Amino acid sequence: MARNNGQKCTSNVVLYLLPILTVLPSVVTQSRLENATDAKAWFERMNAELHALNREAAQYGWDLSTQHQSRVEFTLESLVQLAQRKSAWLQEACDEGALYRQQGWPYDRAYYLLCRGPRNTPEELSEMAQLFSYIQRIYTESEVCIPANCGQRGRPSATVLWANTFVQYPRLSVGHLDLSFVAPEPSQGLISAMAPTKLPKQMECFSGEPDLERLMLSDGMHRVCSGRLPPETVLRWAWESWRMAVGPPMRQPYGRLIELMNAGCMRGANHRDVGECWREELEIPELRLQVDRLWHEVKPFYEKLHAVVRHFVREKHPAEAASIDADGLIPAHLLGGMWSHSWTQYGRDIIPHPVDLDAAFGRANWTSMDLVRRAEDLYASLGLARMTDEFWKHSLIGKGVDGGKCHGTAANMYADGASDYRMIVCPRSEAAAQDFYVTVHEMGHIVYYMEAAKQPTIFSDGTTAAFQEALGDAIYLGAITPQHLVRLGLLDSKHMAPEKELAFGGADATLNTFDYAFLLRMALGKLPTIPFEYLMDQYRWDIFDASVDYGQDANSYFWFLLERQQGIRPPSSVAARVPLFDPAAVYHLSDNTPFVRYFLASFLSYQLYEGLCRSALFGTVTNPANEIPMPLHRCDLYGSKKAGKLLRKALALGSSVHWTDVLEKLTGEVDISAKSLLRYYQPLSEFLDRFIARHRLTVGWEH
Task: Assess contact for 273 and 262: CB atoms under 8 A.
Answer: yes
- H or E segment at 174? strand 174-176
Question: Which listed residue (56, 141, 213, 442) is catalytic?
Answer: 442
Summary count for the chain: helices (H), strands (E): 30, 9
Residue ranges in 640-681 assigned as alpha helix (H): 641-651, 659-667, 675-680
Cα–Cα dist 479/476, whole Å: 5
Q: At a CB cut-off of 8 Å and minimum separation 6, what does 505 contact?
A: 687, 690
Cβ-based neighbour number of residue 639 at 10 Å: 15
- The pair phi, psi for residue 205, each rounded to 5°, is -115, 145
Q: At a CB cut-off of 8 Å and minimum separation 6, what does 677 contact?
A: 298, 602, 603, 606, 607
Is 695 marked within a binding site?
Answer: no
- The pair phi, psi for residue 335, each rounded to 5°, is -95, -35
Q: At a CB cut-off of 8 Å and minimum separation 6, what does 37 contact?
A: none
Closest listed residue to residue 55, CA positions, set 90, 30, 18: 18
Angle 370-371-372 from CA coordinates, rounded to 5° = 90
Which is it for strands 330-331 and 396-397: parallel, antiparallel or unpaired?
A: unpaired
Closest listed residue to residue 388, CA positions, set 419, 422, 414: 419
Cα–Cα dist 611/472, whole Å: 14
Q: What strands, in cross-sheet order, belong to the sheet with 203-207? A: 174-176, 166-168, 143-147, 203-207
Cα–Cα dist 152/225, whole Å: 9
Cα–Cα dist 151/137, whole Å: 28
Is 451 marked within a binding site?
Answer: no
Query: Quick one: 127 exposed, middle or buried, by C-beta within 10 A (0-12, 13-18, 19+)?
Result: middle
- Identify any residues that bridge with 568 across adjacent strands, giving them in sequence order: 330
Is 441 marked within a binding site?
Answer: yes
Q: Is 424 helix (H, G, I), strand (E, B) or coil?
A: strand
- Angle, helices 641-651 vs 659-667, to 10°: value is 170
Cα–Cα dist 248/181, whole Å: 15
Cβ-based neighbour number of residue 227 at 10 Å: 11
Cα–Cα dist 673/607, whole Å: 8
Cβ-based neighbour number of residue 366 at 10 Å: 20
- The pair phi, psi for residue 24, each rounded to 5°, is -80, 130
Q: Is the peptide bond before 482 cis (omega within 30 degrees of 0)?
A: no
Question: Which listed residue (311, 588, 610, 633) is catalytic?
Answer: 588
> What is the residue-wise DSSP string for 343-389?
-GGGHHHHS--S--HHHHHHHHT--HHHHHHHHHHHHHHTTPPPPPH
The three-state (H, E, C) secondary structure of 195-224, written as one string: CCCCCCCCEEEEEHHHHHHHHHCCCCHHHC
Taken as a whole, the chain contains a residue count of 703
Annotation says 442 is catalytic: yes
Cα–Cα dist 181/618, whole Å: 61
Is 315 marked within a binding site?
Answer: no
Cα of first residue to Cα of last residue in the chain, in angstroms, is 33
- The binding site for Zn(2+) consists of 441, 445, 469
- The binding site for chloride consists of 597
| Catalytic residue ranges | 442, 588
- The binding site consists of 441, 445, 469, 597
